Structure 1
Amino acid sequence: MMKKRSILPQLLMPFFITGLCGGILFLLSIKPYEKAETYLRVAFMDNNNVVPQSDGIAGLNIVQTDIDTEYSGKTYDKGDVVYPEYGTQYAVIECEAIDIFAPVYWGNGTELLELGGCNTPSSVVAGGEGNTVISAHVNTFFADLNKVKVGDEVKLYTDYGRFTYTVSELIEFESTDKKYLKKGDKDILTLYTCVDNLLAASDKRIGCRCKLTKREFYKEPKEEVKNEE
């Protein structure tokens, strides 16, 4: 005589499978979701509508440049800054205090943020007159930006000069607040990233403002060279 099988396991099996699959999907979705949201929202100008004018990957021509960070030639306290093409790596940022050493691209957006920091075109280039605004991902290049302290030194290396800044203020603001991102009339450097959040992108931004303390141009200003001739 055959024993009757309990139907309880059969009734519970669909619920068990559904729960197991749901748990796996949840775990897999945490970091990709956070990462995707970070790529979309961490750029300095979250609502920036700048459109690249050059062709390339998805309409963007990305140019990587070999920046000399050990230049030992003559320097000048005055010179001419150079505005690069959109999508070009034009600088390297360094902050030894928090172990930051990363390429900086002129522009913003997902493709560039995957490669380094982004200097938004609505601000100025390194060494320029006004606010130089640079962002990077909190889970990559600016992972330790929350550890920066007032007095730390930050350097920007370019093909036309190197520029030294000193952290003067720590900042925190909402993603919709653009007061720290304006060009302004003070020669400063603003760095920021989003607050790290495990489950989703944060609307909070953290960073610092730095005073420009030293300009070292590699060439004399064009006007002075002409006058000498």
Structure 2
Amino acid sequence: MKSLLRLFLMVTLLVNATFARASLLSTINYFSCAPNCAPLTVVNTISQNGSALSFSNSYGGAFSQAAYGTLKASVDSSFTASPNTFSSGSSLAQFSDWIMLGGLTGPQMVTFVLHTDGALGGTGESTNGTAASMSITLDVNGQQVAIVADYFGGLLASAPQGGLSGTFALDYGTQISLGALLQVSGSLGGFAHFGNTVSLEIFAPQGTSLISGSGTEYRLATIPEPGTCALLLLGLFSLLAARNRYRRC
């Protein structure tokens, strides 16, 4: 299961990152069976414009929404001892875009962080049959690089702030394909709550500017160069020293 899900993520992301384009994709798949499967509910829905998808009944539900820089997906399922009573669902949110970094010249070290805010199961909720995977991928100078993580109920109870990160040497002024994907699934009592947001943040040297094919203003945090940091620290030290001398006088 783990290897198949990882392979699916890699193939999906690498195929979509081949083309520098801006696109959104959200899907939900949900199946529930009432006692003796009467009625039987099957839902398969897809959105490519950023609209939120959701469905729920007394046996569970699924939710998904994709936006540039932000992904949301969640699944609730239930399982009881009643004959043929259960539910199963999966949700997927994905965006593809291109970005171009400017303001500086030559290759620069840039870090991409996919923050997670969600959990596999809350208090009193089972994580059996639950899975969540999230990835980011880049097309850097024609080479595909990807960061993939799998969160499974048996291995991780929750995914707090933090998430995935990767640092790459990127050529400024070059169009870079960017993609991110979040997929969750739950069945027979599994819960995956990543509807609180999985968001992308970019850390780059001070002076960096960014444009994107979708026109999205991604979360860009600029980091002062080491020399600038040293000057700031020296200035702060001098200020504190002068203040101490003034107090002694």
Query: TM class by shorter-chain length?
Result: under 0.3
Q: TM-score under structure 1 normalisation?
A: 0.25
- Which one has the largest radius of gyration? 1
If each structure's strand is expressed as a fraction of its own residues, which one has the higher value?
A: 2
Q: TM-score under structure 2 normalisation?
A: 0.24
